[in-house]
Amino acid sequence: MDKKIHNLTISGLRTSSFLRSEFVMMDYQDFVQKLKNTDLHFKNKFYTLLYFKEASGNLIIDKQNFTIQNNSFVFINYNQIYCLQQDLCSKAEIIMFTKSFYNYVYTGNKLIKNDTALNNLSSFITPKQEQSEEIVRIVDEIRNEYHNLTLLKKEVLCLLLKVLMLKYTRNTGRKNKSNRAITSNDELVISFNDLLEKYYKEWHTTSKYAEKLSLTSNYLNTVIKKKLDISTTQVIKNRIILEAQRLLLHTTISVVQISYELGFSDNSHFGKYFKSATGLSPNEFRKKNSGSLS
């Protein structure tokens, strides 16, 4: 049977909440029932946070296999591909929200906007008991607010959600940068990443992004190298390779189709491009990793 990626939207889950296109909270088992076929591989067009109160089994996100434990938390970012393993049994809650909802109340701190705070966030944490209880209290507050008809409900949920994600981030061990003033170079990196996410399939060179940002390629590369410690070209390549790996792992479409999907007119060029990054040809990569996702 061919493997396909099923794109999910919050509105497509057909919940009764008045925030159904922006924010939904439900039991994990209710979510699984809405999926109908859990053998599929899913790509969410929203952020997802799962709190596993009691659990055992495995969850695969992109190509990482996570062993789920009691009192663990999982974060799935936009466009990450995941599959629910049949051995995953749990008593859990799931919170799903869009970028627009997370930004509904803007605090004035650009460092905790979704495009900076939630990028590259660790997918799995198992906090110590005290920290876990602290996060769970916020989850409880969100649940109570979500299920009650109260004044300023959307605003309160948004603020509680920000606190929840900050607590999650704190437990990933990421360094705290909240006290550092954001600079014009930080803004440039944010703008570049936004463009990259939008155009990586079409624009494979630095010059396209520099032109869109009204900069020279050299200046853009200098800033990216300074802030991210790798060249602009490498950042672009990493994003393309990530998507190629996702398609190779989670679909059965041909390498030729993948190369066209990612903006390569020459399949052999794509093969060399991929091998230079991974050390394997696309077919070798698929064959080597296919067993872990079966």
**φ, ψ for residue 170 (rounded to 5)?**
-55, -35
pLDDT at 115: 56
What's 112's DSSP letter?
A: G
Q: Are strands 41-44 and 124-125 parallel, antiparallel or unpaired?
A: unpaired
In the prediction, which pLDDT does 180 show?
47
Q: How far apart are CA 152 and CA 13, in angstroms?
A: 24
For the stretch 12-53, pLDDT in tens is 887 777 777 899 999 998 998 888 776 678 999 899 999 999
The predicted pLDDT at position 83 comes to 86
Judged by DSSP in three states, 75 sits in strand
Domains of the chain: 5-171 (2.60.120.280), 184-293 (1.10.10.60)
pLDDT value of residue 110 = 64
At 32 the pLDDT is: 87
Quick one: DSSP state of residue 214?
A: T
* pLDDT tens figures, 150-194: 899 999 999 999 999 999 999 987 655 544 455 788 889 989 998
Closest by CA to 204, choosing from 245, 223, 226, 232, is 232
**Bridge pairing between strands 5-8 and 41-44:** parallel
Which sign does the torsion angle of CA 188, 43, 57, 293 carry? negative
Residues 6+ apart with CB under 8 A from 25: 93, 94, 95, 96, 142, 143, 146
Question: What rounded mean pLDDT belongs to the chain?
Answer: 87
**96: closest CA among 137, 148, 35, 40?**
35
Residues of the chain predicted below pLDDT 70? 1-3, 38-39, 86-87, 108, 110-116, 174-182, 291-294
